[in-house]
Amino acid sequence: MAKEKSTEDKIINAARKVFIAKGMDGTRMQEIADVAGINKALLHYYYRTKTKLFERVFTHAFKEVFVVLERAVSNEMDFERFLEKFISQYIKLLKSKSYIPQFVIHELNRNPDLIVKQLQDKSFIKEKLFQLVDQAIEDKVIRPVPPVHLITNILALCIFPFVARPIITGFAMDGDKKKFKTYIDERPEQVIAFVKHAVLINQKEEA
Amino acid sequence: MAKEKSTEDKIINAARKVFIAKGMDGTRMQEIADVAGINKALLHYYYRTKTKLFERVFTHAFKEVFVVLERAVSNEMDFERFLEKFISQYIKLLKSKSYIPQFVIHELNRNPDLIVKQLQDKSFIKEKLFQLVDQAIEDKVIRPVPPVHLITNILALCIFPFVARPIITGFAMDGDKKKFKTYIDERPEQVIAFVKHAVLINQKEEA
DNA sequence: ATATAATTTAATCAAATGGTTAAATCGGAC
DNA sequence: GTCCGATTTAACCATTTGATTAAATTATAT
């Protein structure tokens, strides 16, 4: 609808689209210009180098998938509610930004130094997360599972389907994209139940 | 140690190394030649185009991570043993081929058509896997969880740490690679326990 | 030794690509 | 109107890269 985007916005949006689809190496500045509806000269007029443009896009993408963690740990609630909220919100985010995880993961593997710039001042999130799990164990709400394993397990269950989408669609859904959508819609409920059964100690009464 | 590799082997090994490290787009034929210890002319003498060489490497890499699935479903055993064997063997494989998952996933996202060539004649694996889960549900060995979710959950727990390695190392291990190795060594036990608690119905007595 | 295949050397090509430049044009602010 | 930044056009440059070729050299098998 709205076309009132500034040229800078058009460039950033186009760059994100192309970089996410093709990666840093596979992206051509000309294609970004085409997608943005401008020409290459103007593109370089705004962003002198491909590298600068890429880093801007990457940083933004990284923050988008990381900010949910930030928000999750800041809310106070019991562990079971935390699990529910975190998983459902995270998958909901990924549904609307489904290509970001693969993009971020690929570029971090390509150039691991990028992670250093991104993780500055994020250590408090880690501490809060680990503390949350430790507390739940101490309170005997969950089994004594090493926090790093539980946290990576949850992230794996949320994120993996989006990075492995072509495989899942091809292998288990016969290439039917509609089935994949259904599968993703079922995910929050399935993942929450899976994790709860895996770690919660008191799962007596449930709907 | 053995240096008795044929030139063709040297090329394939070099190509795999470079393609896996830098992806199709990031790979230069000259670098493959350098790593193989030959020159570019000879490289093209064996493999006329980059695309052909890439497809050969990719197909091989894909099969390596897929063949475990194949072997797993062909063995007859009770579901609990199947879980144990499958998870421990899969993680063991990934430990020695840790860069393959990210490679395969990235290239499949880049060019989803590749998956079609790879999944030919693999439908029996899918059917066997689903049937295995269905049977376990019917026998009341596990909770009634949709097979596609259980299967992707298990794969997620096994594979994700390897594709997200830089993030996990950077975020939860302060960049300490040794800690990551320890973490990976703990994975089989942790994942098996996690999945068992998540789905097994009779988990009365355990070590 | 000699024919055949493997390998090197070195040069070359065409195309793609990131980046630059200069001049022209357009559009809005004053 | 005029001034100034935004934008276009179009050409250009240097470099990289995939790929090819011809000729020379080496290794190998017969």
Res B204 pLDDT > 80: no
CATH of the domain at B117: 1.10.357.10
Indicate whether A204 belongs to any domain: no
Q: Is residue B90 part of a domain?
A: yes
Averaged confidence pLDDT in chain A: 92
Nucleotide nearest A51, CA–C1', reads: C18
With CB atoms and an 8 Å threshold, state whether A105 touches B164.
Answer: yes
Domain of B110 in residue numbering reads as 58-199
The pLDDT of B131-156, averaged and rounded, is: 97
Which nucleotide, over all strands, has the C1' atom closest to the CA of B42? C7
Residue range A179-197: average pLDDT?
98
The proportion of chain B whose per-residue pLDDT surpasses 90, expressed as a percent, equals: 80
Q: Taking all residues of chain B, what is their mean pLDDT, rounded to a whole number? A: 92
Residues of A in contact with B183 (CB under 8 A): 148-149
**Residue B80 resides in a domain:** yes
**In angstroms, what CA-CA distances link A63 with A101, A145, B40, B174?**
11, 28, 42, 19
Residues in chain B: 207
Q: Which DSSP symbol is given to B97?
A: T
- pLDDT-derived band at B182, boundaries 50, 70, 90: very high
Highest mean predicted confidence (pLDDT) among A1-10, A104-113, A196-205: A104-113
CA nearest to B109 within chain A: A166
- Taking CB atoms and an 8 Å limit, are B108 and A166 in contact across chains? yes
Percent residues over pLDDT 70 in chain A: 96
Residues A34 and A121 grouped into a single domain: no
For A10-42, give one letter per residue: b (16+ CB within 10 A) or e: bbbebbbbbbbebbbebbebebbbebbebeeee
**d(CA B19, C1' C4) / Å:** 34
What mean pLDDT do residues B134-159 have? 97
The answer on pLDDT for B18 being more than 70 is yes
Of B109, B167, B175, the CB nearest to A166: B109
Same domain? A31 vs A83: no
Which of B163, B173, B183, B187 is the best mutation test for A, with the most CBs of A within 10 A?
B163
B122 with A171: Cβ contact below 8 A: yes
Mean pLDDT of B95-116: 93
Beta bridge partners of A142: A200
What's the residue count for chain A?
A: 207
CA B58 to chain centre: 12
Q: Are both B164 and B184 inside the same structural domain?
A: yes
Q: What is the CA radius of gyration of chain A?
A: 20
Pick the residue of B171, B176, B181, B206 with the most A CBs within 10 A to test the interface with A by mutation.
B171
Q: Are residues A124 and A181 in the same domain?
A: yes
Asked if A190 and A123 sit in the same domain, the reply is: yes
Give the per-residue pLDDT at B2.
Answer: 36
* B4 shares its domain with B44: yes
Residue B1 has pLDDT above 60, yes or no: no
Of A160, A191, A198, the CB nearest to B160: A160
Whether A93 and A167 map to the same domain: the answer is yes
Domain for residue A205, yes or no? no
The least confident of A4-8, A13-17, A59-63, B1-5 is B1-5
Per CB-CB distance under 8 Å, the chain A contacts of B151 are 172
Q: Write down the pLDDT at residue B203.
A: 58
3-state helix, strand and coil shares in percent for chain A, rounded to the nearest 5: 75, 0, 25
CB contact under 8 A, A109 and B102: yes
pLDDT band at A122 (very low <50, low <70, confident <90, very high): confident
The candidate with the shortest Cα–Cα distance to B6, out of B39, B46, B34, is: B46
DSSP label at B200? B
Percentage of chain B with pLDDT > 70? 96
Q: What is the pLDDT of residue B102?
A: 95
Are B17 and B113 members of one domain?
no
Q: Which residues of B touch A25 (CB under 8 A)?
A: 22-23, 25-26
Domain shared by A101 and A172, yes or no: yes
- Would you state the structure tokens that stand for residue A107, as one six-digit string? 């570029």
In degrees and rounded to multiples of 5, residue A173 shows phi and psi of: -125, 15
Q: Which of A92, A96, A95, A101 is nearest to A72 (CA)?
A: A92
- pLDDT tens for A44-77 read 999 999 999 999 999 999 999 888 888 888 887 8
Q: How many Å lie between the alpha carbon of B58 and the closest alpha carbon of chain A?
A: 14
B206 found inside a domain: no
**Total number of domains constituting chain B:** 2
Please tell me whether residue B26 adopts helix, strand or coil conformation.
helix
